[in-house]
């Protein structure tokens, strides 16, 4: 499906296709690696939330156990659920690397806050009896840690390296 979309996008759109330029350069084996690395249980299905999370964090470093611990403790979770305000105020490992430096006099572009907002919107669920959208921080941290858990011997620097890593048996 990805390959067909890529080929159709280039065929109908030419140089200005609907896909990012880097996607147009992907070959069949790279797309196969992406799909297999995202299909952890070999079910033939990819969780779109997980894929979108990795795309949002494509150039971000993969968090260490200490980074995950800091994130969980800064979220002020109640039963593992975090409100929007607490999530946005939490300390994420990617804040420095994803921050933008704006020129004097330009509009402020708060990239790390935008990433946090996209992550919250992607993973939040409305809690019954409460009516508020909350996020399960433990489930989200499991997604953040998947590259390290799935490939414990590999030393991926970022999610991009994990997504396109060659398939190996551990």
pLDDT tens-digit series, residues 23-78: 667 778 888 888 888 887 888 788 889 989 998 898 899 999 999 999 999 988 87
pLDDT band at 164 (very low <50, low <70, confident <90, very high): confident
Whole-number pLDDT of residue 41: 80
Which is nearest to 3 in space by CA: 27, 34, 39? 27
- As a whole-number percent, the residues of the chain with pLDDT over 90 amount to 34
- Residues 93-120 have pLDDT tens digits of 998 887 777 778 777 678 889 999 999 9
Residue 146, CA atoms < 13 Å, CB-side half-sphere? 20
Structural contact between residues 157 and 61, judged by C-beta atoms closer than 8 angstroms: yes
pLDDT > 60? residue 139: yes
């Amino acid at each position: 499906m990805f390959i067909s979309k890529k080929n159709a996008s280039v065929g109908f759109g030419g140089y200005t296709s609907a896909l990012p330029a880097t996607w147009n350069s992907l070959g069949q084996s790279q797309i196969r690696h992406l799909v297999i690395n995202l299909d952890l249980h070999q079910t033939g299905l990819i969780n779109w939330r997980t894929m979108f999370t990795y795309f949002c964090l494509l150039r971000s470093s993969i968090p260490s156990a200490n980074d995950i611990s800091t994130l969980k403790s800064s979220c002020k979770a109640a039963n593992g659920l975090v409100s929007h305000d607490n999530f946005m105020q939490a300390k994420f490992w990617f804040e420095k690397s994803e921050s933008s430096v704006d020129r004097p006099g330009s509009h402020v572009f708060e990239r790390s806050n935008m990433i946090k907002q996209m992550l919250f919107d992607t993973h939040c669920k409305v809690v019954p009896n409460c009516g508020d959208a909350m996020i399960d921080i433990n489930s989200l941290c499991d997604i953040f840690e998947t590259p390290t858990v799935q490939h414990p011997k590999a030393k991926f620097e970022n999610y991009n390296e994990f997504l396109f890593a060659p398939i190996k048996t551990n």
